[in-house]
Amino acid sequence: MCPTVIEELHSMTGGDQVKVQLPYKKRALRQYAPLLVATIGLPGRGKSLLAHRLSRYLNFIGETTKILDISEYRRKHVTKYSSHEMFRADNLPAYRIRQQSFREALEDSAKWLKEPGHSVAILDGPNVSRSQRQEIYDLISGELGFRVMFIECVCENPSILEQNFKDILKYSVDYRDMAAKDALTDLTYKMAHYKAQYESPTLGSELELPCPTVKLLEGGYGGLVAHGINGVKECKILSYISVPKPTQQVLYFSRHGESEFNVTGRIGGDAPLSPRGRLYAQALAKHVQSLNIPSLQVWTSTLKRTKATAAGIQAPQQHLPELDEIYSGDCESLTYEELAAHFPRELALRDCEKLRYRYPQGESYLDVMKRLQSVLFQMESESNILTISHQAVLRCVLGYFLDTEPEEVPYVHVPLHTIIKLTLHGHSYRMETVKMPIECVDTNRAKPTNCSISRTSDDALLTLPAHYDSVASLTSCP
Amino acid sequence: MCPTVIEELHSMTGGDQVKVQLPYKKRALRQYAPLLVATIGLPGRGKSLLAHRLSRYLNFIGETTKILDISEYRRKHVTKYSSHEMFRADNLPAYRIRQQSFREALEDSAKWLKEPGHSVAILDGPNVSRSQRQEIYDLISGELGFRVMFIECVCENPSILEQNFKDILKYSVDYRDMAAKDALTDLTYKMAHYKAQYESPTLGSELELPCPTVKLLEGGYGGLVAHGINGVKECKILSYISVPKPTQQVLYFSRHGESEFNVTGRIGGDAPLSPRGRLYAQALAKHVQSLNIPSLQVWTSTLKRTKATAAGIQAPQQHLPELDEIYSGDCESLTYEELAAHFPRELALRDCEKLRYRYPQGESYLDVMKRLQSVLFQMESESNILTISHQAVLRCVLGYFLDTEPEEVPYVHVPLHTIIKLTLHGHSYRMETVKMPIECVDTNRAKPTNCSISRTSDDALLTLPAHYDSVASLTSCP
């Protein structure tokens, strides 16, 4: 698992060449006691998708989280899945393997939580028996003094179940080599075996164990019942899972068309589109129309260049300030050449620690990630949104959905004049891109090798794409 | 109601003399559609305390919130409360007054929500009938396109009810002039009348209206049932109310004893206590012991001076980085005289906008408020905590509990060598202070009249307490 930004903040000791002193470095949120979240539920109740989404969210907000998937441990012992017989209560050899897998996953959860800086482990599995839950509680809470939270996924809605089953047959490793019809029969038996062993942790309002327990109904669409909630992490988890999220999801993204500032190599500002940027806006509208996306919504920033890019698209539009480009404060509207000449120290500090570096009177990537939280939260619970925003912002947004390591987020490649499509595929997102055939400058400046404050201007500008000066003459093209 | 920090951020246009350019100014969270939260429940179910706590929390996190208390509207029509007859379903003239009061409160909620920058209105009342809830929904959602959320408070736990009833008899305006016994009888009848009119909004998982609805059981101690949650604000509210908070609560606070930096007038740093500071630590421990506080916990920052101040107190101690003093970045360990000499612009900017001003590479009061959220969240759900922290941090903490206007938070008076006690009194907190008889410097610098960048050093230091140089010689006292 990737380290979270907060963990990074903790471990950060400054670059080799430059000592960066940033706020929050020593002020990161106290690591409250580590938390084990255990799922409970029959197959096909959306536990694993929930675990993956929760993990993505927690890592993004700085709670270093890892999923321990019990079925993956089982597959280490039984590399080739044969049939549902594996899950019969009276199949003693199989039961032993399942118990062993459960214990290994639990022990690895404990190991993970004991590591400094680690915050949450998600034990993803059915955990249908009381004795298993007691074992979880005894180890994590009793022995280690950490926290435990249970999330029970209950679902009897036939259409949700049908979709979940389809997804299992499509994405599960177990059914990769089985004919569809056989797989469905097998899954039905498997579920029946688990049903026979199922003991719900909540009876009325009586809690089985003294720890937060949430019963999530119909994938969240039927509401939830929560007991014994306490702790900051647990509250955040409750809040996150309380809003149902689609199991089928497609999201579209694009940067604004090339702007006049892009052409002259300036950062920030609120410049209009260049002539080529206006061509992209037309091409984008045409392309989007051809896709016939049902209930399409368009979200843009509040800046001219994203609004102009979206203008021709036939769909409801919202302009959100959270989607505005990273604010470069005193450095707004400068070129990299000017930065290198007038703010050489700032540029070196930024190259050294691009994720955490905050422009004087401006923002850092971490600041942008923070202000994006509420938008991502809304975005995750919808489908068919086209977000038209900016390079740094889309790096953060794509970084979120693609589980990018925080340190890599400021270097995610998001070229101009390109439509990006994310499709939920099992538990993760798949990315496709469509490059529109309209020329534009390249704005992607790779991390220079030399990040020293004493480097020359030439060294600082070594990775700057060769376009800025050379293409400035192209602004008059159609 | 006081404007929230976010609203302030929005409306902030810079001082008269200095144009302050700060990050987030134009980046504040999007004002998602305004939200009306309506309580539902019989008398004595903790609705009003919940409303006040929720309002305090929402205002602190930047959601400008106002409570509209239906009973206050009723008191405008019937200034002198006579008896429970007011609440009988078959008392038609009284019913008309109650309905009118409900409508006036509802209309004022709508008015409040329509104002730019306002975020949440809490309609505090029984709202026991379906027709009332339909009326709320039709106006707020149907006509205005805003959002509605219901919170039903259900409680049948005799000991919680008894305590709530005691609180009503003690704090309610209606019973101020009634003998205790008569008041209890009257309240019992009043409750019976409401019970006869009560229609719960949730039957199984069937929602009466298509909006988020939470049923809070036994003041939260019995868990909750939530349906139809969506929206960022609603999620935050769910998260906040999911953790039960005590109805009887006492919290203690103190700054660290006088430090060596206090004596020499330096800010920040991690200096040890001065000799007088050590005397305060002894006196504090003795005083706290004499109070015999049950299950006392001590929370300090991670800095030497708070740990040393707490060292003699017989109670479990936790050292939390969130309680560390505001981080003054490049200005750490300087005196105000040095600040005025070497950072005159920074000092002027800070005097101009003390709430939002962020030290170079350091923090602002707003940053501190943000990092305190999780600690406040924990603090609010406990009692008998003694928090030993620092001037700026305690200004924020006390500002929270005492509903201080954000702009005033950086000027809250928190003297050294003083124990502060907050007691929950009805819906608000009462403050008492005990000044220990141990001399110390004064560190409270009032806002100067002249905040211009071009002011003289003398003008900048005009409100600096006259102690720093003059008392420096006292460091050798016992």
Quote the strand ranges of B349-389, DSSP E. Answer: 385-389
Q: Do B238 and A238 make contact, defined as CB atoms within 8 angstroms?
A: yes
CB nearest to B238's CB, from A239, A320, A371: A239
Q: What is the mean pLDDT of residues B196-210?
A: 81
- Single-letter amino acid, residue B203: L
Q: Token pair for residue B44?
A: 């004595």
Q: Which of A474-478, B190-194, B250-254, B300-304 comes out lowest in average pLDDT?
A: A474-478
Q: Which of B325, B346, B363, B380 is catalytic?
A: B325
Instruction: Kindly tell me if the per-residue pLDDT of B24 is higher than 50.
Output: no
Interface probe for A, chosen from B30, B217, B234 (most Cβ of A below 10 Å), is B30
Q: Do A239 and B235 make contact, defined as CB atoms within 8 angstroms?
A: yes
Residue whose structure tokens are 């929930």: A50
Q: Do A239 and B243 make contact, defined as CB atoms within 8 angstroms?
A: no
B407 is an active site residue: no
For residue B205, the chain A residues in CB contact (below 8 A) are: 217, 222-223
Instruction: Kindly tell me if the per-residue pLDDT of B30 is higher than 50.
Output: no
Among chain B residues, the shortest Cα distance to A223 is held by B227
Give residue A270's pLDDT. 97
Q: What is the mean pLDDT of residues A246-266?
A: 96
CB B151 within 8 A of CB B96: no
Q: Do A23 and B367 make contact, defined as CB atoms within 8 angstroms?
A: yes
How many angstroms separate the CA atoms of A355 and A7, rounded?
13
Q: Token pair for residue A44?
A: 């096909």
Q: Do A320 and B30 make contact, defined as CB atoms within 8 angstroms?
A: yes
Size of interface A-B (CB pairs under 8 A): 131
Q: Do A217 and B230 make contact, defined as CB atoms within 8 angstroms?
A: no
How many angstroms separate the CA atoms of A280 and A290, rounded?
15
Quote the strand ranges of B410-461, DSSP E. Answer: 418-425, 428-435
Among chain A residues, the shortest Cα distance to B231 is held by A378
Q: How confident is the model at residue B4 (pLDDT cuts 50, 70, 90)?
A: very low
Pairing of β B206-207 and β B202-203? antiparallel
Q: Which of A102-111, A462-471, B194-203, B411-420 comes out lowest in average pLDDT?
A: A462-471
pLDDT digits (tens, 9 = 90+) for A143-156: 999 999 999 999 99
* Closest-CA residue to A412 (of B473, B263, B247, A420): A420
How many angstroms separate the CA atoms of A237 and A221, rounded?
17
Instruction: Kindly tell me if the per-residue pLDDT of A469 is higher than 70.
Output: no
Residue A357 vs residues A455, B93, B345, B363: alpha-carbon distances, Å: 18, 66, 23, 14
What residues contact A477, with CB distance under 8 A and at least 6 apart? A275, A276, A439
Average pLDDT of chain A to the nearest whole number: 89
Q: Which of A256, A390, A417, A427 is catalytic?
A: A256
Separation in Å, CA of A366 to nearest CA in chain B: 13
What residues contact B67, with CB distance under 8 A and at least 6 apart? B1, B51, B52, B55, B121, B122, B124
Instruction: Kindly tell me if the per-residue pLDDT of B470 is higher than 60.
Output: no
User: Cα-Cα-Cα-Cα dihedral of B369, B370, B373, B376, to 10°?
Assistant: -10
Residue whose structure tokens are 């937060």: A212
ipTM comes to 0.87
Residues paired with residue B388 on neighbouring β-strands, in sequence order: B254, B300
Q: Does residue A53 come out as left (phi exceeding 0), alpha (psi in the -120 to 50 range) or beta?
A: alpha
For residue B359, the chain A residues in CB contact (below 8 A) are: 23
pLDDT digits (tens, 9 = 90+) for B128-157: 999 999 999 999 999 999 999 999 999 999
Report percent pLDDT > 90 for chain A: 78
How many angstroms separate the CA atoms of B323 and B299, rounded?
8
CB B263 within 8 A of CB B474: yes
Q: Which of A69, A124, A351, A363 is catalytic?
A: A124
Give residue A33's pLDDT. 87
Report percent pLDDT > 70 for chain B: 90
Phi, psi of A180 (to 5 degrees): -55, -45
Q: Do B238 and A242 make contact, defined as CB atoms within 8 angstroms?
A: yes
User: Cα-Cα-Cα-Cα dihedral of A225, A231, A232, A234, to 10°?
Assistant: -40
Q: Which of B372-381, B387-396, B464-473 comes out lowest in average pLDDT?
A: B464-473
Residue B425 vs residues B45, B190, B402: alpha-carbon distances, Å: 17, 23, 12
Q: Do B29 and A322 make contact, defined as CB atoms within 8 angstroms?
A: yes
How many angstroms separate the CA atoms of A233 and A98, rounded?
30
Q: Which of A325, A346, A353, A380 is catalytic?
A: A325
What residues contact A284, with CB distance under 8 A and at least 6 apart? A254, A257, A309, A312, A313, A419, A436
How many angstroms separate the CA atoms of B345 and B460, rounded?
10
How many angstroms separate the CA atoms of A288 and A253, rounded?
11
How many angstroms separate the CA atoms of A257 and A278, rounded?
7
Residue whose structure tokens are 């891109």: A433
For residue A149, the chain B residues in CB contact (below 8 A) are: none
Average pLDDT of chain B to the nearest whole number: 89
How many angstroms separate the CA atoms of A471 and B324, rounded?
51
pLDDT digits (tens, 9 = 90+) for A154-173: 999 999 999 999 999 999 99
Instruction: Kindly tell me if the per-residue pLDDT of B113 is higher than 80.
Output: yes
- H/E run at residue A101: helix A92-114
CB A10 within 8 A of CB A117: yes
For residue B358, the chain A residues in CB contact (below 8 A) are: 23
Give residue B343's pLDDT. 93
B451 is an active site residue: no
What residues contact B290, with CB distance under 8 A and at least 6 apart? none
* Closest-CA residue to B148 (of B209, B223, B199, B189): B209
Interface probe for B, chosen from A54, A211, A230, A239 (most Cβ of B below 10 Å), is A239
Q: Do A223 and B229 make contact, defined as CB atoms within 8 angstroms?
A: yes
CB B422 within 8 A of CB B250: yes
Q: What is the mean pLDDT of residues A350-361?
A: 91
pLDDT digits (tens, 9 = 90+) for A416-459: 999 999 999 999 999 999 999 999 999 888 888 888 888 888 88
Among chain A residues, the shortest Cα distance to B376 is held by A232
For residue A232, the chain B residues in CB contact (below 8 A) are: 374, 377-378
Q: Do B320 and A30 make contact, defined as CB atoms within 8 angstroms?
A: yes
pLDDT digits (tens, 9 = 90+) for A190-245: 999 999 999 988 766 667 898 999 999 999 999 999 999 988 899 999 999 999 99
Interface probe for B, chosen from A206, A374, A396 (most Cβ of B below 10 Å), is A374
Q: How confident is the model at residue A467 (pLDDT cuts 50, 70, 90)?
A: low
Residue A15 vs residues A12, A349, A352, A453: alpha-carbon distances, Å: 8, 9, 6, 11
SS3 A450: coil
How many angstroms separate the CA atoms of A374 and A397, rounded?
12
SS3 A200: coil
Q: What is the mean pLDDT of residues A66-91?
A: 94
Instruction: Kindly tell me if the per-residue pLDDT of A263 is higher than 80.
Output: yes
Instruction: Kindly tell me if the per-residue pLDDT of B202 is higher than 70.
Output: yes
Residues paired with residue A217 on neighbouring β-strands, in sequence order: A154
Q: Which sign does the torsion angle of CA B95, B100, B105, B107 carry?
A: positive
Q: What is the mean pLDDT of residues A45-73?
A: 96
Give residue A6's pLDDT. 33
Q: What is the mean pLDDT of residues B16-32?
A: 37
CB nearest to A327's CB, from B23, B227, B359: B23
Separation in Å, CA of A289 to nearest CA in chain B: 28
For residue A324, the chain B residues in CB contact (below 8 A) are: 26-27
Q: Do B329 and A21 make contact, defined as CB atoms within 8 angstroms?
A: yes
Q: Token pair for residue A194?
A: 């688990």
- For the whole model, what pTM was predicted? 0.89
Give residue A22's pLDDT. 36
Q: Which of A147-161, A226-240, B178-192, B452-466 comes out lowest in average pLDDT?
A: B452-466
Q: Which of B153, B155, B396, B440 is catalytic?
A: B155
Give residue A25's pLDDT. 34
Give residue A27's pLDDT. 32
Q: Token pair for residue A113?
A: 């939580």
CB B109 within 8 A of CB B140: yes
Instruction: Kindly tell me if the per-residue pLDDT of B50 is higher than 90.
Output: yes
Give residue A205's pLDDT. 60
CB B252 within 8 A of CB B419: yes
Among chain B residues, the shortest Cα distance to A202 is held by B223
How many angstroms separate the CA atoms of A424 and A246, rounded?
9
Q: Do A377 and B232 make contact, defined as CB atoms within 8 angstroms?
A: yes
For residue A227, the chain B residues in CB contact (below 8 A) are: 222-223
Residue whose structure tokens are 């004049």: A417
| Burial degree of B11 (CB within 10 A; 0-12, 13-18, 19+) | exposed
Q: What is the mean pLDDT of residues A278-286?
A: 98
Interface probe for A, chosen from B328, B374, B393 (most Cβ of A below 10 Å), is B374
Q: How confident is the model at residue B1 (pLDDT cuts 50, 70, 90)?
A: very low
SS3 B342: helix
Give residue B256's pLDDT. 98
* Closest-CA residue to B336 (of B345, B350, B347): B347
Give residue B360's pLDDT. 87
SS3 A55: helix
| Longest Cα–Cα distance in chain A | 78
A256 is an active site residue: yes
For residue A381, the chain B residues in CB contact (below 8 A) are: 230
Count of C-beta atoms within a 10 Å radius of residue B21:
16
More confident residue, A208 or B293: B293
Q: Do A205 and B227 make contact, defined as CB atoms within 8 angstroms?
A: no
Instruction: Kindly tell me if the per-residue pLDDT of B127 is higher than 80.
Output: yes
B325 is an active site residue: yes
- Single-letter amino acid, residue B305: R
